[in-house]
Amino acid sequence: MAASSPSGGRACSEPGALLTATIPPRQARAMCNLSLPIACCLLLFGSGLAAAQKPPPLPAPVPQGGKPPPLAQAPAEPGGKPPPLPPGNTPFGAVPGGPRPVSSGTGFVVAPSRVLTNHHVANGCAEMRIRTSSGAELSATVAATDQQRDLALLTVRGDPGPVLSFRSGPEVRRGEGVVTYGFPLSGILSSGPTLTTGDVSALAGLRDNAAQFQISAPVQPGNSGGPLFDLAGNVMGVIVSKLNAQRIAQSTGDIPQNVNFAVKGAEAVDFLRRNGVQPRMVPSTIPPRSAAEVGEVAHPSTVFLRCLR
């Protein structure tokens, strides 16, 4: 997209006002009346609007004694304090010379000091950092992974939040309402968690993957590893991926919409039990809650993850 001019797009039609210091008005108007709008605009803007701005002041003379005047400093905050840096020892929270954040995702608390996420979120990380709902920054290590299921279990140094419950029954049906909660597109969207709603579209994932659900709730990069809730507020899956709409469009000429996937809750429960965690199981037999009420259940137990390498 071409950039607009500072004068609202009228710079080339009113050249005299901007070019008087460098080109006589008649010549400037004649150039712009020709079929050379690019040349005209380059004259207007290529020099940084030199004609519309005052020339920079000359440097102050060196006082007697040979010492130059002090350099100008960036304005400080009221009270003389410099502008604050982001949390951590350096920008982005990284230690000088140490691992730096390279990606982010979502996780949720499945047992005291234990967090579940995706294998691809934790894979290859030298260190994992967790930000809880209270804003606490905690360190975590990878305790177990399952690449085929795309699940990872983290051990957290500290209290990441209250434990969420998994759905023990009844069987999930197509058309059931679902809620996602996570941290998509960190650094672009809200720094806080995002809630989306949708339905169970299919009881199998891509290429009939029986370990996954297909859902219509919108998800984005950064949602990976987050909880998928039913309307009782119980975990029924783990967000894992979305269909690559660009590739499908190149193959079929059609852009798919709201085709996303989650690892089934039963798969996550089996993974946890195989690794020494007994998840809390609750039947989803209560009347459906609103999405906002489910979000209140999710909030204290859903964490933001950063992978450091």
- Where in the sequence numbering do the catalytic residues fall? 120, 150, 224
Residue 196's nearest CA partner among 223, 227, 177, 218 is 218
Q: Is 300 helix (H, G, I), strand (E, B) or coil?
A: helix
In angstroms, the CA 178 to CA 180 distance is: 7
- Sorted by sequence, the CB contacts under 8 Å of residue 47 that are 6+ apart come out as 22
Q: What's the count of helices (H) and strands (E) in the chain, helices before strands?
A: 7, 14
Phi, psi dihedrals of residue 213, rounded to the nearest 5°: -100, 155
Burial annotation 219-229 (CB, 10 A radius, 16+ → b, else e):
bbebbbbbbbb
In angstroms, the CA 178 to CA 227 distance is: 10
CB half-sphere exposure, 214, CA atoms < 13 A:
16
